[in-house]
Structure 1
Amino acid sequence: MDTKNVKKTKRTNTAKVAAKSSAFNVNLSKLKIKSMDDYEAIHQKALEDPAKFWGERAKSLLHWFKPWEKTLEWDFAKPHVEWFTGGKTNASYNCLDRHIDGPRRNKVALIWQGDPEDDVRIWTYQMLYDRVCRFASALKNLGVRKGDRVVIYLPMIPEMVVSMLACSRIGAVHVLVFAGFSASSAQSRIQDCEAKVVITSDGMFRAGRVMPLKANIDEALKDCPSVRRVIVVNRTNMPTAMKERRDIWWRDVMSDRSLNARLPAVQMDAEDLLFILYTSGSTGKPKGVMHTTGGYLTYAAHTTQLVFDTREEDVHWCTADIGWITGHTYGVYGPLLLGGTTMMFEGGPRWPDPDRFWHIIEKYRVNTFYTAPTAIRLLIRDGDEWLEKHDRSSLRILGSVGEPIDAKTWNWYRDTVGDGKIPVVDTWWQTESGGILVSPIPYVTPLKPGSASLPLPGIDVEVLKEDGKPAKVDEEGHLVVKNPWPGMLRGVFGDKSKFKENYFSRFSGFYLSGDGVKKDQDGYLWLQGRLDDVINVSGHRFSTAEMEAAFNAHPAVAESSVVGMPHSVKGEAIYAFIHLKEEEKPTDAMRSDLRKWVRKEIGPIATPEYIQFVESLPKTRSGKIMRRVLRKIVSGNIEDLGDLTTLVDVSVVEALVTEHELLTGRSSLS
């Protein structure tokens, strides 16, 4: 369905829904939604009695060693949220044990395609179970106990999944750090969570190249006293330094014949910590978002089933790196909780040729495909001929994640990749939410190109203006959520005050997402991107404060300001305004040195698209940099810079605009 059908299926009004809700009788084990009337009835029932709705979902989707005593306790004013209090379960058990006791024992759980074409591993549930139990037993032998933090700094290889499930099996908290991050970024996360063990690899393959990884950890651990052991996967056979009594090869760990290949899973309280995942915020220090066991697992299974219409025979491919939340929820936990087959790919979409994604879809008969708009835009530029070489008839659902998708990209995705026959589920969510909050129901929700459509059942959203009043139709505002959902974060690791400050203080009684949104007359949501100081580059979030702190640490930099610049492929690119110290010269060599510096401090994915040297920055009389002016300049919109009367020197703006045009080769008025 597309937008021309929206008027015919306009959302049912509240009175009509209320009249229908008394007849609510749905098989919650499947929660099959076959029409918009089904959606409205289920959605309304979930809002009327969330404890009953989510309680039935949790019972039907997960195995519980012990039932919970209370389904939900919450108060956004404190803030405090608990789901399934007193219930006992385990993530690893739910992903593995219950499947191997039935007909899925020899079903394929994981298909892994390495960067080299002939590097493939295919594991059944039984095979994955054996490896997870053995590695969990090895972690116990190394002194890892319930509640200990284990940092996983690995490329996209199967050992990543084994490590996650082994940690959850014994109650350890896994903390994945994206392998594209630098030693400095890894160090800050290891220090913050006080990790006991780090799991890494000698190196990694990417687009035909071999890159070191263990060397980053060696650099990071120069000031991480909490780390006792480092386990190293031999991925590339590159020369690797091993520190005596600290470092040990994965192969040596797993060769121990005494390891228990049937290690029982620890019974975890529903609110026990499952994992920490660091995300950029409006301050320079990344936030350790905490997700707990029962609620997160329930929501991961619920949304995977609903958004991807999960079927027993499906091969599901989420292209996101597992180091990000998308990979956690829809690359690992969601598919495995439902007994599905998940696809994992080590490489990128354009090597050795621009048809790598389409080749993999054909090779493994992928049914549900979930990727980022950045990847789609990149593949559009390569031309349709690469796509048309491959059979895509296995595809049933196309998904988009990580950033708003523009209508042009959406239409190509549906009409060219999907031959106009496959629904596009444009999903909105974030690290903090644990799973998808807004998305179409495939083959049910009428689609509008560029809109994430409607909240999923049980999610109650609102659009608020700056003054806290509801926004009007087509008026941009803050996307907030009124009520808790099981997958939501439970706090910021080591910083209780930040949980309230970041998410619940701006609008009392609401969860603040930080994203801007518009709601149209049909209730469809149109995401506008971040409203806080966060840049979204290819779906990866970077704090402007973190970027500026990295620049300011360079010995030649006096001051910096970083903003996001619209980019046709990445969505946003990093644009840095740099004020050098008086004795330094603004040369191309200096620009190159600053790029290398930031790559070292944060990682290659944080490399600025442009670095503009400035004599001064636009500041108010109180000394605050007026970033909205800088954002207007880099977006090419200087006709409406707003009120500039508070600036110390208005002429600074004209100089910035002129230099920006020279640097980028385009007019700011274009």
Structure 2
Amino acid sequence: MRRLGLGSYEELYRYSVEQPEAFFEATFRQMGLEWFRPYTRVLDTSQGPQWPQWFVGGELNLAYNAVGRHARAKPDAIALIWEGEDGQVIRLSYGELEARVAQAANALEALGVGRGDRVGIFLPMIPETAVAALAVARVGAVFVPVFSGYGADAAATRLGDAEARLIVTADGFYRRGSRVRLLEAAREAAALSPSVERLLVVRRFGQTPLEGREVAWDQAVNGQPEEAEYAPMGSMDPFMLIYTSGTTGKPKGTVHYHAGFPLKAAQDMAHCFDLREGEVLFWFTDMGWMMGPWAILGALTLGNTVLLYEGAPDFPDAGRLWALVERHRVTHLGISPTLVRALVPFGEEPVRRHDLSSLRMLGSTGEPWNLEPYLWFFHTVGQGRVPIINYSGGTEIGGGILGCVPFKPIKPMGFNTAVPGIRAAVLDAEGKPVVGEVGELAVLGPWPGQTKGFWNAPERYLNTYWNRFEGVWVHGDWAVVDEEGHWTIQGRSDDTLKVAGKRVGPAEYESAAVEHPAVKEAAAIGVPHEVKGETVVVFVVLKPGHSPGAELEKAITDQIVQRMGKALKPEKLLFVADLPKTRNAKVMRRVIRAAFLGQNPGDLSALENPQAVEAIRGMG
């Protein structure tokens, strides 16, 4: 604000949306962003707001801005801290991280990975996860993060669509004191993905024996030179292909570019979370969800420290998260409302026995709050002195649409601003902005970080976000903004499931269920859950000759878990004779959900079989 000569936060926000080119240029200059070749123009919208071109003609490399320039300026500053569930700790300075990323980049090139090639990162949160992602970007390739809890089929869907040539994985990781053998799922996923040529395996458990096309990380990387070139990349060249689930069909591959997602992440950390020099950010997440790359790339681009943790948040006891904060002097802690709800029953004692005085900001994202856990987080963890920066956006956004800034009062569970640079509005059914009324959350102008469409599916991208109102991004959330500029999100306006803050498409559950030979068709819905916020109920119609029963219920549930992973196991599986459908055979999940929850399902005139609704109504 001082640099721009602005006297209030409201002036800054207005400037950011009325003069976005000047605002983003000033923001990234203040961050010290370095270009290999200067850009000639900040923004080109000649192809429409759906396809903006940012920093036209400029060349840079996100890995250089996240690591290389800091390694030169402050080689001994701590870049990354990792703690394993078993208590092992690794700290890497910017100089050490630069050397490791260079070695990994050289190893990737020796394995034939080059500009534009896709590399799957199927890893838990270990140091090599950050090193691999940065190395892939350094050589100009594209990484595809995959949730470490996915089953082989869910992983293969993403790797296959991306046509990944290499998978970086691990033999396993620790979770609640047990060894999770990730390599087995990775091998299966590779077998289902014809494009995969090699697996680069981090041996977390020691000398795990490897098979024919598998290469050990330590053998491939550790002997490489500690210097490597940074590939000069165009501002809009992709570096990451991260998948997010929709309501129908296969997951969507959102395409992110060097002058987009990392800059948006860093900008949001600076403007919303007030992350300052020398501070430590810890967001409890996984690399397969947006917040994993967001935490790593954003914190490093700002020259700060990012903490990664491998294991469960309540192992060996309910004080583990608070012990991490105390041990590593965390200043910025981000956890989901679901996790807070899970920790509340343990009481205040596990929190009180740890020194949390280093905390300066709390963060949350992924789903709407309810009041009791929000206030517990504020009073018990934040001791009534630390703001909760509520943050909501998405994988396709590259960060937040709505957030909080510590310059303004924050109402519980809400957002006190749209993120600077994001021209957000709540729109009514006619596409007109409304205040004090629930409507569609929309963005009225482009921003760096906006996905460069969906991988090999431009029409699907346009249909998903741009088909409601001309030139307007409609996000799929119900929201309301009041006269004072405080926002709340009411939930998803489409069918996408949000399980423990993670977006999952109902089609993925349904596809997994119908693979069982007894299943004719299935429908998945999200329902409220006290701890998780939302959980999944799957309705199944059996083929003739099969009868409902506990044994069959378990077999179909196991089939879903095998495909989706244990973390996404449905809460319930219910047998029905029929699913409510329209005359063109579209299953009406909205109607199923309303009937199951005892709510008014609305207009049923389009249904071919309204009797199916009555059968479901008594099951909730």
Q: Same fold (TM over 0.5)?
A: yes
In the alignment, the residues of structure 1 paired with residue 97 and residue 380 of structure 2 have an alpha-carbon distance, to the nearest angstrom, of 36
Specify whether residues 645 and 269 from structure 1 end up closer, same or farther in structure 2 by C-alpha distance, changes over 3 A only: closer
The SS at the match of 1:159 is helix
1:369 partnered with 2:333? yes
Matching residue of 1:644 = 604
Matching residue of 1:250 = 217
Contiguous gaps of at least 5 residues in structure 1: 1-24, 662-670
Q: Quote the offset at 1:253 in angstroms.
A: 0.5
Q: Quote the offset at 1:78 in angstroms.
A: 7.1
Could you list the per-position Cα deviations for residues 205-230 of structure 1 after superposition, in whole angstroms to 9, with x for gaps in the alignment? 11111111111122122232322221
Note if contact 2:81-2:92 (Cα within 8 Å) is conserved in structure 1: yes
Matching residue of 1:202 = 171
1:279 to 240, 244, 257: 244
1:474 partnered with 2:441? no
Note if contact 2:340-2:373 (Cα within 8 Å) is conserved in structure 1: yes
Contiguous gaps of at least 5 residues in structure 2: none
1:441 partnered with 2:417? no
Counterpart of 2:551, as a letter, is: A
Q: Quote the offset at 1:534 in angstroms.
A: 0.5
Larger radius of gyration between Structure 1 and Structure 2: 1
In the alignment, the residues of structure 1 paired with residue 557 and residue 207 of structure 2 have an alpha-carbon distance, to the nearest angstrom, of 27
Specify whether residues 261 and 468 from structure 1 end up closer, same or farther in structure 2 by C-alpha distance, changes over 3 A only: same
Matching residue of 2:426 = 463
In the alignment, the residues of structure 2 paired with residue 622 and residue 238 of structure 1 have an alpha-carbon distance, to the nearest angstrom, of 56
Q: Quote the offset at 1:278 in angstroms.
A: 0.6
1:291 partnered with 2:256? yes
In the alignment, the residues of structure 2 paired with residue 172 and residue 648 of structure 1 have an alpha-carbon distance, to the nearest angstrom, of 49
In the alignment, the residues of structure 2 paired with residue 432 and residue 532 of structure 1 have an alpha-carbon distance, to the nearest angstrom, of 15
Could you list the per-position Cα deviations for residues 392-417 of structure 1 after superposition, in whole angstroms to 9, with x for gaps in the alignment? 11111111111112222221111111
Q: Quote the offset at 1:113 in angstroms.
A: 0.7
1:116 partnered with 2:86? yes
Could you list the per-position Cα deviations for residues 5-48 of structure 1 after superposition, in whole angstroms to 9, with x for gaps in the alignment? xxxxxxxxxxxxxxxxxxxx6326xx9x9xxx621111111222
Matching residue of 1:389 = 353
The SS at the match of 1:224 is coil
Counterpart of 1:553, as a letter, is: E
1:320 to 279, 285, 292: 285
Q: Quote the offset at 1:64 in angstroms.
A: 1.0
1:134 partnered with 2:110? no
The SS at the match of 1:378 is helix
The SS at the match of 2:45 is strand
Specify whether residues 263 and 597 from structure 1 end up closer, same or farther in structure 2 by C-alpha distance, changes over 3 A only: same
Note if contact 1:406-1:449 (Cα within 8 Å) is conserved in structure 2: no
Q: Which moved more, 1:641-650 or 1:544-553?
A: 641-650
Q: How does 1:388-537 map to 2 (within 5 A)?
A: 388-442=352-406, 444-471=407-434, 473-537=435-499
Q: Quote the offset at 1:628 in angstroms.
A: 2.1
1:606 partnered with 2:568? yes
Q: Quote the offset at 1:239 in angstroms.
A: 5.0
Counterpart of 1:67, as a letter, is: P
Note if contact 1:77-1:508 (Cα within 8 Å) is conserved in structure 2: no
Matching residue of 1:190 = 159
2:16 to 36, 41, 46: 46
Specify whether residues 76 and 430 from structure 1 end up closer, same or farther in structure 2 by C-alpha distance, changes over 3 A only: farther
Q: How does 1:130-279 map to 2 (within 5 A)?
A: 130-237=99-206, 239-240=208-209, 242-244=210-212, 246-256=213-223, 259-279=224-244
Q: How does 1:65-144 map to 2 (within 5 A)?
A: 65-74=36-45, 77=48, 79-102=50-73, 104-117=74-87, 119-144=88-113
In the alignment, the residues of structure 2 paired with residue 173 and residue 455 of structure 1 have an alpha-carbon distance, to the nearest angstrom, of 30
Could you list the per-position Cα deviations for residues 439-485 of structure 1 after superposition, in whole angstroms to 9, with x for gaps in the alignment? 1112x1211111122112221111122332334x3322111100011
The SS at the match of 2:8 is helix
Counterpart of 1:374, as a letter, is: T
Note if contact 2:151-2:565 (Cα within 8 Å) is conserved in structure 1: yes
In the alignment, the residues of structure 2 paired with residue 559 and residue 506 of structure 1 have an alpha-carbon distance, to the nearest angstrom, of 30
The SS at the match of 2:420 is coil
Could you list the per-position Cα deviations for residues 284-336 of structure 1 after superposition, in whole angstroms to 9, with x for gaps in the alignment? 20111001101223222211111221222312111111221111112x01111
Equivalent residues, number? 619
Note if contact 2:123-2:170 (Cα within 8 Å) is conserved in structure 1: yes
Note if contact 1:460-1:481 (Cα within 8 Å) is conserved in structure 2: yes
Counterpart of 1:474, as a letter, is: G
In the alignment, the residues of structure 2 paired with residue 323 and residue 653 of structure 1 have an alpha-carbon distance, to the nearest angstrom, of 36
Matching residue of 1:4 = none
Q: Quote the offset at 1:649 in angstroms.
A: 4.3
In the alignment, the residues of structure 2 paired with residue 105 and residue 369 of structure 1 have an alpha-carbon distance, to the nearest angstrom, of 25
In the alignment, the residues of structure 2 paired with residue 255 and residue 431 of structure 1 have an alpha-carbon distance, to the nearest angstrom, of 33
Note if contact 2:398-2:451 (Cα within 8 Å) is conserved in structure 1: yes
In the alignment, the residues of structure 2 paired with residue 82 and residue 538 of structure 1 have an alpha-carbon distance, to the nearest angstrom, of 34
Specify whether residues 151 and 476 from structure 1 end up closer, same or farther in structure 2 by C-alpha distance, changes over 3 A only: same
1:589 partnered with 2:551? yes
Counterpart of 1:637, as a letter, is: G
Could you list the per-position Cα deviations for residues 482-511 of structure 1 after superposition, in whole angstroms to 9, with x for gaps in the alignment? 001111111111112122111111221101
Coordinate RMSD, CA, aligned: 1.8
The SS at the match of 1:71 is strand
Note if contact 1:84-1:295 (Cα within 8 Å) is conserved in structure 2: no
In the alignment, the residues of structure 2 paired with residue 489 and residue 623 of structure 1 have an alpha-carbon distance, to the nearest angstrom, of 32
TM-score by length of 2: 0.96
Specify whether residues 220 and 38 from structure 1 end up closer, same or farther in structure 2 by C-alpha distance, changes over 3 A only: same
In the alignment, the residues of structure 2 paired with residue 299 and residue 413 of structure 1 have an alpha-carbon distance, to the nearest angstrom, of 27
In the alignment, the residues of structure 2 paired with residue 116 and residue 324 of structure 1 have an alpha-carbon distance, to the nearest angstrom, of 23
Q: Which moved more, 1:57-66 or 1:281-290?
A: 57-66
The SS at the match of 1:277 is strand
In the alignment, the residues of structure 1 paired with residue 127 and residue 50 of structure 2 have an alpha-carbon distance, to the nearest angstrom, of 37
The SS at the match of 1:188 is helix
Matching residue of 1:654 = 614
Note if contact 2:156-2:189 (Cα within 8 Å) is conserved in structure 1: yes
Specify whether residues 91 and 580 from structure 1 end up closer, same or farther in structure 2 by C-alpha distance, changes over 3 A only: same
Q: Which moved more, 1:74-83 or 1:182-191?
A: 74-83
Specify whether residues 599 and 627 from structure 1 end up closer, same or farther in structure 2 by C-alpha distance, changes over 3 A only: same
Counterpart of 1:630, as a letter, is: I
Matching residue of 1:57 = 27
Percent identical residues:
37
In the alignment, the residues of structure 1 paired with residue 293 and residue 208 of structure 2 have an alpha-carbon distance, to the nearest angstrom, of 31
Q: Quote the offset at 1:652 in angstroms.
A: 3.1
Counterpart of 1:653, as a letter, is: V
Note if contact 2:105-2:139 (Cα within 8 Å) is conserved in structure 1: yes
Note if contact 1:76-1:509 (Cα within 8 Å) is conserved in structure 2: no
Could you list the per-position Cα deviations for residues 587-641 of structure 1 after superposition, in whole angstroms to 9, with x for gaps in the alignment? 111111111101111221221101111112223444333322221133x333x33
Note if contact 2:401-2:424 (Cα within 8 Å) is conserved in structure 1: no
The SS at the match of 1:438 is strand
TM-score by length of 1: 0.89
In the alignment, the residues of structure 1 paired with residue 260 and residue 180 of structure 2 have an alpha-carbon distance, to the nearest angstrom, of 37
Counterpart of 2:2, as a letter, is: V
Note if contact 2:323-2:354 (Cα within 8 Å) is conserved in structure 1: yes
Could you list the per-position Cα deviations for residues 217-264 of structure 1 after superposition, in whole angstroms to 9, with x for gaps in the alignment? 221222323222211110124854x332x21111111243xx221112
Note if contact 2:390-2:415 (Cα within 8 Å) is conserved in structure 1: yes
The SS at the match of 1:644 is coil
The SS at the match of 2:143 is strand
Matching residue of 1:667 = none
In the alignment, the residues of structure 2 paired with residue 100 and residue 649 of structure 1 have an alpha-carbon distance, to the nearest angstrom, of 65
In the alignment, the residues of structure 2 paired with residue 623 and residue 52 of structure 1 have an alpha-carbon distance, to the nearest angstrom, of 50
Note if contact 1:39-1:457 (Cα within 8 Å) is conserved in structure 2: no
In the alignment, the residues of structure 1 paired with residue 47 and residue 112 of structure 2 have an alpha-carbon distance, to the nearest angstrom, of 38
Note if contact 1:131-1:162 (Cα within 8 Å) is conserved in structure 2: yes
Counterpart of 1:291, as a letter, is: H
Q: How does 1:13-24 map to 2 (within 5 A)?
A: none
In the alignment, the residues of structure 2 paired with residue 47 and residue 611 of structure 1 have an alpha-carbon distance, to the nearest angstrom, of 47
Specify whether residues 136 and 449 from structure 1 end up closer, same or farther in structure 2 by C-alpha distance, changes over 3 A only: same
